Structure 1
Amino acid sequence: MKLSVVIVNYNVKYFLEQCLHAALKASKNIDAEIFVVDNNSVDGSCQMVREKFPEIKLIENQHNKGFSMANNQAIYLSKGEYVLLLNPDTIVEEDSFIKCIQFMDEHQEAGGLGVKMIDGKGRFLPESKRGLPTPLVAFYKIFGLSRLFSKSKRFARYHMGHLDKEQTHEVEVLAGAYMFLRKSTLDKVGLLDEDYFMYGEDIDLSYRITQGGYKNYYFADTTIIHYKGESTKKGSINYVKIFYQAMVIFARKHFSKGRADLFSVLINLAIYFRAFLAIVTRFAKSIFLPIVDALVIYGGFLWLLPYWERFKFEPGYYPTRFMNTIVPIYILIWIVNIWMSGGYQKPIKILNIFKGLFWGSITILVFHSLVDESLRFSRALILLGSAWAFVSLLSYRYILSHSKSKRVQFDRNRKKRVILIANEEEASRINQLIDQSNMKINVIGLVQPTESHVAKGFLGNLSQLNEVISIHKIEELIFSANDLPSREIINIMLKLSRLNIEYKIAPPESLSIIGSSSIDTAGELYVVHLNAITKENNQRNKRLLDLMLSLILLVTFPLTCWSVKKKPGFLKNILTILFGTKTWVGFSGNEETKSSLPKIKKGVLSPADKFEHEISEEKKLEIDMIYAKNYSILQDVDIIWHAWKNLGR
């Protein structure tokens, strides 16, 4: 056998499905086997593999064994001359495997091979080619010198920035997302080190390959898509800590004691430095709009006050404490009310800002009527200040909304302008998925997935894609993987990478359309399994109902307990719901069927409790999906009313 492909999966079912479609195409004319090692996923990944890909060799772990151990499980069973360790959030070209095999056959000194990787927007991923993270290299990376001097052979050594990404080169470290390895090399240098749970194992193995007398190569003649950030949020402190601690393990294993100690000090400095930066950045982002709002409103009072004094009284009528003390209190009340009304949530909703200012003004007027007369100032100024706040806050937000910052984008209920690159049959199926996903999408039309003469019903063909995007102001492309090979999709993404376009890919016969908008985010996932119940306002309303009902039931327990079957369970449920571990209404059905539903707390009751007769598991799932899709707080009230006697369940 020529090739064994090993994919370790953990709760990324839809990405895995897309990855397997591409991998099977790439191994079509090769004597190959594909392993999926699942680390105890709870999203239905194993069921999907069994049903859709019976030819795949599935290993189901009963707990998360980590990346290294899971890969080793499959490598022990593999029969291929070459072993490819492949991430589930990748898409390979149809000829990726053949090209890699040819290169390795021609270069017997090669122990491992990595390839050119791009993200979900077609941008090159610098970790495609890396250098060994010695203490000095790590220092340049940790403190930003590698980014500042991105082409320097010395400072940009971590990502080997001095090497041309369009040329094949010898490198020191391969990326774990795509490690094409010679099996005989693994037999000599050993498999992945299981001391690494996640991250660092690719650096360790790459180093041992070079120490064993082999070479590692960056291979530029094939490209894969790597949806970065699906398994872990790369910007999180937890990621930084896990990643850099893996570097410490590597240093202690391979460097001298002095260098390892120096490396350890650098790593700990990096963790604290990154944590400090993350806290400062998060805090600055959270207070940016409130501070600007406060300054704008205060500036309005500075402008309004002299005019009002001249119009009604005389200049200098109001004491200095009005501007120094009273107005800041007014501003604080307005900002708190805007925050409580959701006015600082993304995207911006005008109604939420209006509600915040309205209730803030009511609060200020009530406060005005209750305080001592010496602290009472003009009601008219309060109303004028409210009017100024409303006009000014919306005006400057509107101006900022034209920037690229997502923090100040208006929720205009505008639909994203999308074109499908697909034949009519697949386009019809994809349109159904979009309709059922409730996403704000406006499909402008179809682009023919060939360069042949444009047929009726299409906006254009692939050779006219640039013009179609420009004329129709397209924001996103959705590719049909059934009508376009992965290689063609990747080429299009590379050609359009300078445009501000997002991309999604619809695998054949799938209930998902997948894409990633940036290097660090999971992006959007258009899936038939709808989850309107997980919207922030629905979650807030649901929790509010749980709290209010539980408090009422706790106070009236001596009376209400007589209307419920199981009284001890009733009291226990009240307390657990108050503490937030359960909800009054959740989903019914077993864990396997729940995997296709959004994640919510375990419920005392379920939508199925409205029915007096017994219903099947299939019917329960259908009812749960309708409940999740069209959730309202009145549904919960209705279910609780109908199943009141079961509140002690």
Structure 2
Amino acid sequence: MKLSVVILNYNVRYFLELCLRSVEVALNNIESEIIVVDNCSSDDSVAMVKQLFPSVTLIENKNNYGFSQGNNIGVKHAKGEYLCILNPDTVVAEDTFSKILSFSETQSNLGIVGCQLIDGTGKFLPESKRHIPTPKVALQKLIGNSKNYYNNNLNPNQIGKTDILVGAFMVLKRAVYNEVNGFDEDYFMYGEDVDLSYKVLKAGYSNYYFGETSIIHFKGESTLKDKIYAKRFYGAMEIFYKKHFKSNAVVSALVKIVLSLASKRSLVEESEELTINETLVISQPVDEQLKHKLDGTVSFSSSLKEIPSHTQIVLDANSLGYKTSIDYIKSSNTSRQNTYRIWLKSSNFMLGSDSSVGKGEVISF
């Protein structure tokens, strides 16, 4: 088997369904499997997977074991030569896995491969490619200088080596994952992707950013970005520094002070609320029956061209496809005058997010 896609889920039932729909299409013609690990969700995620995705391997944890242990449990069941660690609040393009695997097969000494992540507004997420967050780099970022934190040597559409990749999407050989003992279970949530990336580098492998495919990561769905998040995140970074940057007492004290100050800050950046004048459904072809039912309240079109600003654009993923939807949201980001929802017509719901920090919106019909 070539690829095992491992998805750890916790209470994001609708995002998980959309993710799985996109993954299934992207795995066409690839010998593969999908493994969903549910961390004791209280919603109907488990029932949904059983009903709609009977071919998916479903692991039902009786407790919330966190990100690291949950993914490690999933990987133990994996049979693929390659693994993809994937967040449930993502949407992949039809060619994402084929492109990543084709690239991976040409590389020797391959570590982890990541791709271009955008949020629900089409904004590029700079954590897609990062440098090692040494204490010095972390201090710079805390005071507002992220120049050395993110890898700005590569533009978002390029391919090249990078140190740290994001846990929302990671592809690597299962043998490499096992060699470095997978995710460190000292981390419950946050920091484990930094740790895994760094362990793979220290084992002598090269990590790569592959910018020729984009996926949506609805950041904020699995967890909201607030002061509690900041405290947990910087607590995870303290674990990272103790493990990998042991030095003298002065440096250790400085790191503790920096992280203590950082953990008291909210990481939320308030996003400006956009005024929406109309809702436009893009579907190919236009559903005339639905158009008649919603006449006067919602506009319909089969074209992605000449869309007015201040419009909520509803993209019918079933007819447009995931790559077209992702690329359109990404290409339209420059104006930032519209909002976007992906409509899974086959399941009668739509969802999206208007910022990279706030909780997204799900509307089921």
TM value normalised by structure 2: 0.93
Answer yes or no: is 1:216 the counterpart of 2:53.
no
1:132–1:405 distance in 2 versus 1, CA, 3 Å: closer
2:43 aligned counterpart, secondary structure: coil
The one of 175, 181, 189 equivalent to 1:184 is 175
Offset of residue 142 of structure 1:
1.1
CA–CA distance in 2 between the matches of 1:264 and 1:218? Answer: 31
Q: Specify the alignment match of 2:160 in structure 1.
A: 169
1:203 aligned counterpart, secondary structure: helix
Question: What per-residue deviation string (whole Å, max 9, x for no partner) do you get for residues 578-610 of structure 1?
Answer: xxxxxxxxxxxxxxxxxxxxxxxxxxxxxxxxx
Answer yes or no: is 1:193 the counterpart of 2:184.
yes
Answer yes or no: is 1:47 the counterpart of 2:37.
no
Given that 2:128 and 2:165 are in contact with CA atoms closer than 8 Å, whether structure 1 keeps it comes out as yes
The one of 281, 289, 298 equivalent to 1:443 is 298
The structure with the greater share of residues assigned to helix is 1
Matches within 5 A, 1:490-569: 490-499=326-335, 500-528=337-365
Offset of residue 135 of structure 1:
0.6
Offset of residue 430 of structure 1:
8.9
1:6 aligned counterpart, secondary structure: strand
CA–CA distance in 2 between the matches of 1:262 and 1:6? Answer: 38
Question: What per-residue deviation string (whole Å, max 9, x for no partner) do you get for residues 605-637 of structure 1?
Answer: xxxxxxxxxxxxxxxxxxxxxxxxxxxxxxxxx
Answer yes or no: is 1:265 the counterpart of 2:257.
yes
Q: Specify the alignment match of 1:95 in structure 2.
A: 95
Q: Specify the alignment match of 1:110 in structure 2.
A: 110
Offset of residue 416 of structure 1:
4.3
Offset of residue 429 of structure 1:
5.7
Q: Specify the alignment match of 2:232 in structure 1.
A: 242
Given that 2:232 and 2:263 are in contact with CA atoms closer than 8 Å, whether structure 1 keeps it comes out as no
1:245–1:93 distance in 2 versus 1, CA, 3 Å: same
Q: Specify the alignment match of 2:134 in structure 1.
A: 134
Amino acid at match of 1:209: V
Segments of structure 2 that go 5 or more residues without pairing to the other structure are: none
Sequence identity percentage:
42
Amino acid at match of 2:259: I
Answer yes or no: is 1:417 the counterpart of 2:278.
yes
Given that 1:128 and 1:218 are in contact with CA atoms closer than 8 Å, whether structure 2 keeps it comes out as yes
Answer yes or no: is 1:482 the counterpart of 2:318.
yes
Given that 1:116 and 1:124 are in contact with CA atoms closer than 8 Å, whether structure 2 keeps it comes out as yes
Question: What per-residue deviation string (whole Å, max 9, x for no partner) do you get for residues 114-169 of structure 1?
Answer: 100111111111111011110110011111122xxxxxxxxx12112243222112
1:159–1:252 distance in 2 versus 1, CA, 3 Å: same
Q: Specify the alignment match of 1:376 in structure 2.
A: none
Question: What per-residue deviation string (whole Å, max 9, x for no partner) do you get for residues 9-46 of structure 1?
Answer: 00000000000000000001100000110011111000
Matches within 5 A, 1:61-72: 61-72=61-72
The structure with the greater share of residues assigned to strand is 2
Root-mean-square deviation (CA, aligned residues, Å) is 2.3
CA–CA distance in 2 between the matches of 1:10 and 1:74? Answer: 14
CA–CA distance in 2 between the matches of 1:267 and 1:198? Answer: 16
Offset of residue 108 of structure 1:
2.0
Offset of residue 476 of structure 1:
1.2
Offset of residue 271 of structure 1:
1.8
Q: Specify the alignment match of 1:350 in structure 2.
A: none
1:51–1:252 distance in 2 versus 1, CA, 3 Å: same
TM value normalised by structure 1: 0.53
2:318 aligned counterpart, secondary structure: coil
Matches within 5 A, 1:211-610: 211-234=202-225, 236-258=226-248, 259-272=251-264, 274=265, 406=273, 416-424=277-285, 428=289, 442-444=297-299, 446-448=300-302, 461-462=303-304, 465=305, 467=306, 469-470=307-308, 473=309, 475-499=311-335, 500-528=337-365
Amino acid at match of 1:512: F
Amino acid at match of 2:278: R
2:238 aligned counterpart, secondary structure: helix
1:73 aligned counterpart, secondary structure: helix
Q: Specify the alignment match of 2:78 in structure 1.
A: 78
Offset of residue 79 of structure 1:
0.5
1:176–1:418 distance in 2 versus 1, CA, 3 Å: same
CA–CA distance in 2 between the matches of 1:233 and 1:3? Answer: 31
CA–CA distance in 1 between the matches of 2:292 and 2:327? Answer: 24
Offset of residue 424 of structure 1:
4.9
Given that 1:8 and 1:67 are in contact with CA atoms closer than 8 Å, whether structure 2 keeps it comes out as yes
2:112 aligned counterpart, secondary structure: strand
Amino acid at match of 1:253: K
Offset of residue 268 of structure 1:
0.6
Amino acid at match of 1:422: S
1:116–1:523 distance in 2 versus 1, CA, 3 Å: same
1:189–1:405 distance in 2 versus 1, CA, 3 Å: closer
CA–CA distance in 1 between the matches of 2:292 and 2:315? Answer: 12
Offset of residue 264 of structure 1:
2.1
Question: What per-residue deviation string (whole Å, max 9, x for no partner) do you get for residues 412-432 of structure 1?
Answer: xxx841111113575756997
Which protein, 1 or 2, shows the higher relative CO under an 8 Å CA cutoff with sep ≥ 6? 2
1:6–1:431 distance in 2 versus 1, CA, 3 Å: farther
CA–CA distance in 2 between the matches of 1:478 and 1:66? Answer: 33
Greater C-alpha Rg: 1
Amino acid at match of 1:208: K
Q: Specify the alignment match of 1:31 in structure 2.
A: 31
1:179–1:261 distance in 2 versus 1, CA, 3 Å: farther
Given that 2:46 and 2:60 are in contact with CA atoms closer than 8 Å, whether structure 1 keeps it comes out as yes
Amino acid at match of 1:63: N
Question: What per-residue deviation string (whole Å, max 9, x for no partner) do you get for residues 271-316 of structure 1?
Answer: 23x16x98xx99xxxxxxxxxxxxxxxxxxxxxxxxxxxxxxxxxx
